Structure 1
Amino acid sequence: MVLVVSEEVREAIDARRPVVALESTIIAHGLPRPRNLQVALELEDVVRREGAVPATIAVLDGRPHVGLDKEQLERIANEDGIRKLGHRDLPLAVAAGASGATTVSATALLAALAGVRVFATGGLGGVHREWTVTQDESADLGLLARARITVVCAGVKSILDVPATLQRLETLGVAVAGYRTERFPGFYLSDSGHPVDWTLQSPQEVAEVMRAQDALGGPESALIVANPVPEEEQLDPDLHARVLADALHACEEQGITGQAVTPFLLDYLVRHTDGASLNANLAAVRGNVRLAGRIAAAWARA
């Protein structure tokens, strides 16, 4: 089998000990050096402090890895030419012997194939603004409709069309629940302005839903646990609205389309909020990783 599962992760899965999958795109493409490696190590440490095993996922020299050692993390953080891989890119990367950091869709797929049930990330991709013109939608959504994994996230990126994304998730049959909130979070913001239909109050309740998914035997779809960034750590909503409006205008003026839109908007927010959006992003990721560790522990006890 082409998938390489680290010894630590394999032993934990076999012994039904808690494991949390982590994506690697934030390491290779989301943060500057050397902060990216520091954050990668910090997030793995957060998982361990919750009693779980971290399984950072990436493709190295054409081999998908579930669980990286420190040297492999350093490669993803520091090596030039690390590609950004969605799940559609995986066979191409394997055949070409390429190295790449995995996005949400690729991480979720590889984690599910390895038998890892819980995955922590920042914010999901979704339906892009002006969808009726561009037909631009993240591959995250379709993959989550076909992967039995629990994704702890801070909602979807606020640069997207949030209500359209929630509608698309409903259409695809992907379960969504707020964690101790009746409002769907907006990545940088605690509240996107839209409600959720279900609220879960504890890791144990999340684990019960996971058990019910298996007992029902329905489609192999994901469970999204939407965990808001704390209000005291969110990006100021007025600043967010003003800078995002400017970013969207700049994007249109410069003719930026397709896959280039999201990184352009995120980078614009970082630069024009003096790094406050990045701080809110990292606060959300830390909280999601911590919660994912607790959910994985509750699931392992089930």
Structure 2
Amino acid sequence: MLDSGPVVTTRSLSAGDADWRRHGTDIPVCQAAQRRASNGPVPGGTYGDEVDEYSIKTSTEVAEAVRTGRPVVALESTIVSHGLPRPDNLKVAQEIEQTVRDAGAVPATIGMVGGQLIVGLNEPQLTHLATADGVAKLSVRDLAVAAASGADGATTVAATAAVAARAGIPVFATGGLGGVHRAAAESFDESADLTALASTPVTVVCAGVKSILDVGATLERLETLGVPVVGYGTRRFPGFYLSDSGYDLDWSVGSPEDVARIMRARAGHGVSDAGLIVANPLPADEQLDPQLHDRVLSEGLAGLAREQITGKSVTPYLLAHFHAATEGRSLAVNVRIILRNAALAAAVAVAYARP
């Protein structure tokens, strides 16, 4: 039975300890970490004690699917903890997994519970990340520190892609990618999603880059990093809430089989370890109204400057602003995006798994 949430205590660091303080606070030690240290199970977990303490834990279903070559789709958990409001977050996460199953693939939602990095969260673990307070947002750089502290955490695109590749899962579905922020010339604020995809051979199905970012600069950066971007049924790069960001693409594909052939060609060449971005736009009649989008975005950017919000807090702030200012319409679009991407990713995984 999953605990309702971690009971957090703290310990003081001795002079001989590594300085693990973050933002001037001591590293948290939660009950799950204490249980693990005494060989106890992670709440809600079904994983054997023979696995090393900090090994990635893979659910039986996902591990068996990977072993036998069945199609698997990796899913991020930040949409559960940070991307959608409660209680919609858990409901949508369950719908995403069911969409993948309905298309013939196995869903593998990735996240961290009590310091254990898990590929294939079960229902109690998914519910915990959706309802617990203080769930950390984990990029690649945060994984080891969060694990050592016994934290609960949701993985970003960068972390999910990296863990999926490590687990042998070649396809990943998400809503929109992170990218270069609009004030990057002064702040150097750029999502780790980009550099992670430059060295992670995972195919990411998305609705382009979040429109709150500098889309043009992000595409330039992806080109520099050697990450290919193909439009699904389009030569125009989508803008997350919008079907068209205004930027052209060099390549497009028309079917999941086309994507699978690109994946096989990349693997066969052995030249690049970069990922592949499949940009899947919403139909024009399902996008957010462009005029409403532009007005709300301008208001949100002004709010960022006024409240001096930076770093990891930027995207959650703007998404929350969109939700409030559009009276929930942006949330409905966001849900359509991720469900469509999950279905396409599953179709790609099925095509790639065929002999």
TM-score by length of 2: 0.84
What is the root-mean-square deviation in Å for CA atoms of aligned residues? 1.0
Residue 76 of structure 2 is aligned to residue 4 of structure 1? no
| 2:191 partner letter | S
Residue 170 of structure 2 is aligned to residue 117 of structure 1? yes
User: Partner residue of 2:321?
Assistant: 268
1:219, distance to aligned residue in structure 2 (A): 2.4
1:33, distance to aligned residue in structure 2 (A): 2.1
Q: 2:123 aligns with which of 70, 78, 92?
A: 70
1:269, distance to aligned residue in structure 2 (A): 1.3
| 2:323 partner letter | V
Residue 161 of structure 2 is aligned to residue 108 of structure 1? yes
Q: Does the 8 Å contact 2:83/2:319 carry over to 1?
A: no
User: Partner residue of 1:127?
Assistant: 180
| 1:8 partner letter | E
User: Partner residue of 1:95?
Assistant: 148
1:259, distance to aligned residue in structure 2 (A): 2.3
Residue 224 of structure 2 is aligned to residue 171 of structure 1? yes
For residues 250 and 96 of structure 1, what CA distance do their matches in structure 2 show?
A: 33
User: Partner residue of 2:300?
Assistant: 247
Deviations 1:195-241 (A, max 9, x none): 11100100000000000000110121100000001212110001101
Q: Does the 8 Å contact 2:82/2:316 carry over to 1?
A: no
Residue 261 of structure 2 is aligned to residue 208 of structure 1? yes
User: Partner residue of 1:83?
Assistant: 136
SS at match of 1:278: helix
1:87, distance to aligned residue in structure 2 (A): 0.9
Bigger radius of gyration among the two: 2
1:257, distance to aligned residue in structure 2 (A): 2.1
Deviations 1:94-149 (A, max 9, x none): 11111101110111111000000000000000000021111110010000001010
**Comparing 230-239 and 151-160, the one that deviates more:** 230-239
| 1:282 partner letter | V
User: Partner residue of 2:98?
Assistant: 45
Query: Which structure has greater helix proportion?
Result: 1
| 1:68 partner letter | L
SS at match of 1:204: helix
1:291, distance to aligned residue in structure 2 (A): 0.1
User: Partner residue of 2:282?
Assistant: 229
For residues 105 and 118 of structure 2, what CA distance do their matches in structure 1 show?
A: 18
Deviations 1:48-93 (A, max 9, x none): 0001000000011111110011111111111222111111100101
**Comparing 240-249 and 118-127, the one that deviates more:** 240-249
Q: Give the share of equivalent positions with the same residue, in percent.
A: 57
1:31, distance to aligned residue in structure 2 (A): 1.7
For residues 254 and 40 of structure 1, what CA distance do their matches in structure 2 show?
A: 31
SS at match of 1:29: helix
Deviations 1:6-55 (A, max 9, x none): 11001111111100000001111122222211111111000000010000
For residues 66 and 249 of structure 1, what CA distance do their matches in structure 2 show?
A: 38
Consecutive unaligned residues of structure 1, counting only runs of 5 or more, are: none
